[in-house]
Amino acid sequence: MPWISHSTTNEVINQICDRIWLAVVQRTLRPGARLKEEELTEIFGTTRARVRQALAILEQDGLVTIYPNRGACIAEPSVDDAQDAFSARLAIEQRLVTRLCRSAKPEDIAILRDHIAQERAAHARGDSEAVIRLSGEFHMLIARLAEAELLLKILRTLTIRTSLITAMYQTQATQTCGPDEHDRILAAIEARDESRASHEMTHHLEHLETALRLSEAPMPVSGLREALHGIAQRRAP
Amino acid sequence: MPWISHSTTNEVINQICDRIWLAVVQRTLRPGARLKEEELTEIFGTTRARVRQALAILEQDGLVTIYPNRGACIAEPSVDDAQDAFSARLAIEQRLVTRLCRSAKPEDIAILRDHIAQERAAHARGDSEAVIRLSGEFHMLIARLAEAELLLKILRTLTIRTSLITAMYQTQATQTCGPDEHDRILAAIEARDESRASHEMTHHLEHLETALRLSEAPMPVSGLREALHGIAQRRAP
DNA sequence: TCATATAATATTGTTGACAATATCGTTGAC
DNA sequence: GTCAACGATATTGTCAACAATATTATATGA
């Protein structure tokens, strides 16, 4: 049940988006991989029109790039894009935790505490899929509890972007940061210390960013053809 | 040349989006007004598919609401929505001015100064359309000069929302705030005073928000029917 | 052998007709 | 006279065939 789900009337479209996102964060689909409409149509047992809508949504979210008349590929965010995404998340999430410091009710604290416990459990049993999912969900949870619908929506697309960036640039050493930092953020919220909460969130996001090897620009590609011909580069406008 | 333009391959779709946005800020199209696909098709001399795409984009931007199987209407943001939008803008724009304080080159300052001069000119000659356009453009300009592509994109949709909100809740007294506050923001940027710039931006946005009569909840409607039957409420999920 | 032009194939983009759904007006029973 | 059910109309949603475009393969000349 990915927290990424885009609110669309059609369930099939959500499925397509979720599955593609999942494949990306699990590194099954590499950046630059082509997404042929026909192929997706067969996989999901739907029509091309639906696939098309899904791809349009995913492009909005920055997960895929659509080259006109040439099809869709998993996006390949540059180092600049990555820094932009984290910078934007910082702006949004600093405000969110500050806001939550003021408005958090005891049950909100309890929900967050329980969530972190789940993260710990997933971490302990080595369930990396759950770790990724829960780790992202924590941030979305803060947005939801802060009752900022718009900021939640924005954060959702930003998190999709950073998911892709993480999948693209992460070193195998830094799979995910443990739930300890989430714990410190929660502690600050509980203490109603806006400044500290904001600071902890900043630290957390900066940690996430610096854990990537952004400087090296690994430029991963999906398949042999792209690797050999550099099609993705030539295609860019 | 509305600064709202969404980057789409198809020019017609941009036109539709721009025209609808313009009609909204000029209060020609009132919130709640129905947007029949066929009607738009005739007006813009295009096909229903294109109109549909345009409406989907406008829904993403929060300018229209699409009720499944029932068509599209100009959105009617609630007071909460309005506060959310300004809150989000605050988060984004504080970061943008801070960033620009560090990175602004002399030519950037010149561009901003020139822009404010244009604002003054438009204000002086009573060209309210230009005033609205330029006033919004100033904020987008800051985002562009700050070289934060993602934040620019986010700010674009937020500005569309606040445009609608302004058109919806503004009192006739407070048409637009003059360019003086923009001037103070620029002065802070020029002085490289991050704290002051952030503060001026905050003040400016809060001023914009408080100039609206959000508390009264005028709940404007497009037609008599909606006013009497409260259809907009029943339609919501 | 390499580069260029051309035909063949594959993929995306568009259109118009059809199906599904909601709204509106009418009829009929109570 | 009011309400509910029904049919008529209007509007949106979907699809499959067609057109446009790009990519690949082939052929040709230097």
Name residues 41-60 of chain A with a Cβ under 7 Å from nucleic strand C: 48-49, 52
Nearest nucleotide by C1' position to the A72 CA atom: C12
What are B84-106's pLDDT values in tens digits?
Answer: 999 999 999 999 999 999 999 99
Domains of chain B: 11-76+219-235 (1.10.10.10), 79-210 (1.20.120.530)
Mark yes or no for CB contact A88/B154 under 8 Å: yes
> Distance from B94 to chain A by nearest Cα, in Å?
8
For A38-94, what is each residue's pLDDT tens digit? 999 999 999 999 999 999 999 999 999 999 999 999 999 988 999 999 999 999 999
Residue that is written with structure tokens 């934060």 in the block: B148
Residues of B in contact with A94 (CB under 8 A): 91
Residue identified by tokens 């103070």 is B184
**Torsion angle (degrees, nearest 10) of CA A203, A146, A80, A24:** 100
Which residues of chain A have a CB within 8 Å of the CB of B90? 95
d(CA A165, CA A210): 12
Give the span between the Cα atoms of B66 and B22, in whole angstroms.
19
Tell me what percent of the residues of chain A surpass a pLDDT of 90. Answer: 66
Q: Residue type at B156?
A: R
Answer whether B162's CB lies under 8 Å from B139's CB.
no
Give B108-139 pLDDT, tens digit per residue. 999 999 999 999 999 899 888 888 889 999 99
Residue A46 CB: number of other CB atoms within 10 A? Answer: 17
Q: In angstroms, how far is C17 C1' from B52 CA?
A: 17
Assign B63 to helix, strand or coil.
coil
DSSP helix/strand/coil, A67 = strand
Interface test with A, best of B13, B150, B153 (most A CBs within 10 A): B150
Q: How many CB atoms lie within 10 A of CB B232?
A: 19
Amino acid at A191: A
Nucleotides of C under 7 A from a protein CB: 11-17, 20-24
Q: Are strands A71-74 and B34-35 parallel, antiparallel or unpaired?
A: unpaired
Q: Of A68, A70, A73, A2, which Cα lies nearest the Cα of A220?
A: A73
- Rounded to whole angstroms, the Cα distance separating A161 from B112 reads 31
Supply the Cα-derived Rg of chain B in whole angstroms: 18
Tokens at B204, concatenated: 């400016």
Contact at 8 Å (CB) between A152 and A54? no
The two most distant CA atoms of chain B are separated, in Å, by: 57
Contact: A151, B87; criterion CB under 8 Å: yes
Protein residue ranges contacting nucleic strand D, Cβ under 7 Å:
A 9-10, 46-50, 69-70, 225, 231, 235; B 34-38, 48-49, 52, 66, 68-72
Report how far residue B91's alpha carbon sits from residue A102's, in angstroms, rounded to the nearest whole number: 16
CA dihedral A97, B155, B76, A142 (to 10 degrees): -20
Average pLDDT taken over every residue of chain B = 86
Helix, strand, coil percentages in chain A from 3-state DSSP, rounded to 5: 70, 5, 25
Q: Check if the beta carbon of residue B136 is closer than 8 Å to that of residue B183.
A: no
The whole-angstrom separation of Cα B95 and Cα B146 is 10
Quick one: DSSP state of residue B170? B
CA of A222 to C1' of C12 (A): 21
Cross-chain residue pair B87–A158, CB shorter than 8 Å: no
Indicate the pLDDT class of residue B219, thresholds 50, 70 and 90: low
pLDDT band at A217 (very low <50, low <70, confident <90, very high): low
Beta bridge pairs of residue A166:
none
Measured between CA atoms, the residue of chain A closest to residue B158 is A150
Find the DSSP H helices in B125-237: 128-145, 149-169, 180-190, 194-210, 224-229, 231-235
Tens-place pLDDT, residues B145-164: 999 999 999 999 999 999 99
Q: Which of A58, A87, A97, A150 to mutate to test the interface with B (most CBs of B within 10 A)?
A: A150
What Å value separates CA B34 and C1' D2?
Answer: 31
Question: For residue B231, how many other CB atoms are within 10 A of its CB?
Answer: 17
Mean pLDDT over B207-213 rounds to: 85
